[in-house]
A and B are shown apart, each in its own frame.
Chain A
Amino acid sequence: MSQISLPDHAGPVETVWHWTYILICAFVFLFLIAPILVIIPLSFNAEPYFTFTKEMMSLKPEAFSMRWYEDFMAKEIWQRSIGNSFFIAFCSTALATALGTLAALGLSRSEMPYKGLFMGLLISPMIVPLVITAAGIFFFYATVNDYVPLTGTYLGIILAHTVLGTPFVVITVTATLSGFDHSLTRAGAMLGADPTTVFFKIIMPLILPGVISGALFAFVTSFDEVVVVLFVASVEQQTIPRQMWAGIRESISPTILAVATILICISIVLLATVELLRRRSERLRGMSPG
């Protein structure tokens, strides 16, 4: 029985409190989700306003249009931003996933010395304020630019985003490995499999959900990152968040709302994927769903 439902013997005070509580929760959920939902209908506004027009309120079809989506498709700068964002996010995710998974495998072994210290250092990019990270990377790239050009190059942005993405991979994969039964690898080894076979045939399938969730987190981190891009990228590496940033600060146009709607759809897909993976992983490890 849930603790939320009202017992039959509840008095008037409890009844009033109960409904107040439900109302408070409804308000908080609204506070969380309304800002995201309100943007979607507004992106179909036929007028260049950021609010609902009278015509929209009365649901006249001519008040809605796809013009901001068409604008988004037509502008070369947005197209390039999309390409850049995906390219940078894919590359940094691949790097972050490979490095993070290996490290998580090491960190979750009981023999690992100074585990807490290493874990703390490897997670720190997630905790240190982005402006500080970006400033540090800016100074660093400026000093090594003579040897490897990193300021204003794709490589520079990809490496910086990899740094920001690895903590997520380390956290999710370590979490998956925390319920991992190590006798499985020993059993595999005893049956004659070499460590590589054990890894790909036994460990990998079991931790794959964690790896993919971590990769998705890393992807979103890179895809949404703007501070490092502001500090070390050139115009050539314009990304979607960078372009949105410029749009909000300088020439605000409802095209941004169309882009925002597209990004919301992408996050819904990612969220669904991660949730499915989490449930699958918990089922595989014999934990209760949920």
Chain B
Amino acid sequence: MIWRKDVECLPVDKLRALQLERLKALVARVVERVPFYTKVFADAGITAQGITSLDDLPKLPFTRKTDLRDNYPFGLFAVPLSEVKELHASSGTTGNPTVVAYTKNDIALWSDVMARTLACAGAVPGDVVQNAYGYGLFTGGLGIHYGALELGATVVPMSSGGTKRQIKLMHDFGATVLTCTPSYALFMAEEAADMGVDTRRSPLRVGVHGAEPWTEGMRREIEETWNIKAMDIYGLSEIIGPGVAEECQAQDGLHVFSDVFLPEVIDPDTGEPRPDGKDGELVITTLTKEALPLIRYRTGDIVSITHEPCKVCGRTSPRMSKVRGRTDDMLIIRGVNVFPSQIESVLLEVEGAKPHYQLIVDRQGSLDQLEVQVEIDEGVFSDEIKVLEDLERRIHRELESVLGLSVSVRLVEPRTIERSVGKAKRVIDKRQL
């Protein structure tokens, strides 16, 4: 079903007119209310009145993740804190976390785009939604939650983990929709098999999977083992959380809810627009958000976009491809965003010297594993095993608390870690994605 036919199926000319009208209002609002934007727009010599067409969009300045960090915690908000009803934050050690905020209307918008998302994936009012995305500061859990309520579904706020319990309640409550990372869907299927639960005979009909990269092969495996349709979902906290784009039954690209989140694809090096069908960095402008409106936010995700109308569902919105990579060195491990710089700063703190390290990412069974290999040089070496084991434990504990993710730590000999032309190759990703 299409949750908001009025906007999701708008004729393209009307959609563009709506986007332009919203863009002009947005620029006027941020220039007036957010000192950061007052300055960058003045520097660029652009005013809201100067925007007469969507073709002017590429002239507007970009916003980057560093801008959010530099203005930590509330510097980019366009409303007083009294109007902010919810705050979320990403993990972060190098500098500050990324803080995102929602007004009452923003929560309503989030509920709306997430209801659209679930409906687009094939959920209907009355469905029982088992939500196995993490609740808390991570936006995944609550975003799905709000959307399921808006849709008129019954939501089971499982959060992540506790797999045996997930499977029991899923069976006993008769879940029809499962929302979780794709790797967790596969892991659950393995656990279910061990418990003697026949996953193919459950009432489950739809899986909504995202927050990490996955392949068509994984999709087939999930669909096969659970006997469901497995749908890709896209979003990021800075824009709203989950609810930016979703696949329809065609499973041929994710419909971007472009009446509120205006997408562009650019060359990450030059900043120039990329044509339809060509890979580039996804850039999004939040057209109606109140608390944290962002102009041309650089997502760091590599995608392509097509504006060709979808032949299957009738939505007129542009469709984006699956995320094909990143412009930076961010890793996604079991749905958690990890930057090598976070790990480096933990090691620096524990060891007290610039560490040599390497990150080995692999998928064992269906779950991602991150191994941090730390070189032991004379500065930290001890002839006593207990001192080395203590070092290993401290690194392990600090990494877990900073990343919010369980990792394994291995102490290795120097030079074990490959150096490539003066610069160490920090990440080895063995996952087949």
Partners in one complex: no
